[in-house]
Amino acid sequence: MTNTGASKTITVRTPEDAAVLAEQLHDAPGGHFGRPPVTVVAYESGAAPVERREDFRVVYNAIVARIGEPTLYGGSAQGPSVRWRDGRRLVLLSGDRFGARLSVHRPEALEAEELRNFECGGAWSTAEPHDFDLLPYCWQLYRGGPGERPAARPGARLAGCWEHLEAALELMLAAWIEQLPVQVPGDWAGFTILSSRDWGRHLVVSYSPDEGLGVAVDDRDAQQGPERELQMRAHGWQTSDRGWWQSAFLEADERSAGAAARLTVAELRGRGAVSPDELVARDVGVNDRGELWLPGLGIRTH
């Protein structure tokens, strides 16, 4: 894998090569600003998300072993977006369905461009296509360094209709399946959705390495019994535990993110929510450690 810049060609053939390049970008970025990203891993054509995840893991682990944990974990709907950042340089390890690349940027320039993307994009009407798949990142996690967190955070890209919300949620959950196990191995992630029309009811969306994606809803105010079980199972719920209905979706199945998103949106609508702007996410976190931002979720968070 080679990339040609203004003065020389950079070749990366092994994870160790990628780690050495990352160290150069991290410790001596001056000569690399403005150069094109360097491909450090290429995926097989048609590789499934879990296959891409394992190929990326090898390179990512080699880089972390050389330069340490990143400042900001994260990813977009296209692939990972991991950052080693301080005031003088931002090393970016980013990917898509074809591979992953390393580059270095002046932090203020890259982040200003990304903030413009968050602020100026989005569908102007429900008839227009959404752009959740084009956001620089849909999730980002800060755990106190090393390095420095950015001074500004983007606002949430809000979904204007249920179809856009379902798409945003599916894209983010698919990103979690591919990206979280590599960047924060062993950790779970999740959030709770509340509706202004049904404020006391919690609907929890989560990911864990042991169970994959999960959706759970508090149904304790309903009379539980055979009739209720038939209703809830007809809606797509799988099991009940003390009035909480739950469904689990295996991470190896590429349809899981879409199924979890459809169940979530259908349940919210079925319980009276009229539009996504009536929703809010709270209890957002990864193993209750650090700050998790979800600008690509499609609803407000607090």
CA–CA distance, 245 with 104 (Å, rounded to integer): 46
CA–CA distance, 190 with 287 (Å, rounded to integer): 9
Beta-bridge mates of residue 292:
141
CA–CA distance, 286 with 267 (Å, rounded to integer): 24
Q: What amino acid occupies position 93?
A: L
First vs last C-alpha separation in the chain: 43
- Hey, is 298 helix, strand or coil? coil
pLDDT at residue 76, as a whole number: 98
CB 137 within 8 A of CB 296: yes
Residues 72-90 pLDDT 10s = 999 999 999 999 999 999 9
> Per-residue b/e over 89-123, b at no fewer than 16 CB within 10 Å?
bbbbbbbeebbbbbbbbebeebbeebbebbeeebb
pLDDT at residue 3, as a whole number: 56
Beta-bridge mates of residue 240:
245
Report the candidate in 33, 144, 148 with the shortest Cα–Cα distance to residue 86: 148
> Per-residue b/e over 243-267, b at no fewer than 16 CB within 10 Å?
eebbbbbebeeeebbbbbbbbbbeb
CB 182 within 8 A of CB 55: no
- Hey, is 198 helix, strand or coil? coil
Q: What are phi and psi of 275, to 5 degrees?
A: -150, 160
Q: Which two tokens stand for residue 50?
A: 């879990």
Kindly report the number of other CB atoms within 10 A of residue 45's CB atom.
Answer: 7
pLDDT at residue 302, as a whole number: 85
pTM value? 0.94
Residues 38-72 pLDDT 10s = 999 999 999 999 999 999 999 999 999 999 999 99
Low-confidence ranges of the chain (pLDDT < 70): 1-9
CA dihedral 125, 127, 131, 133 (to 10 degrees): 150
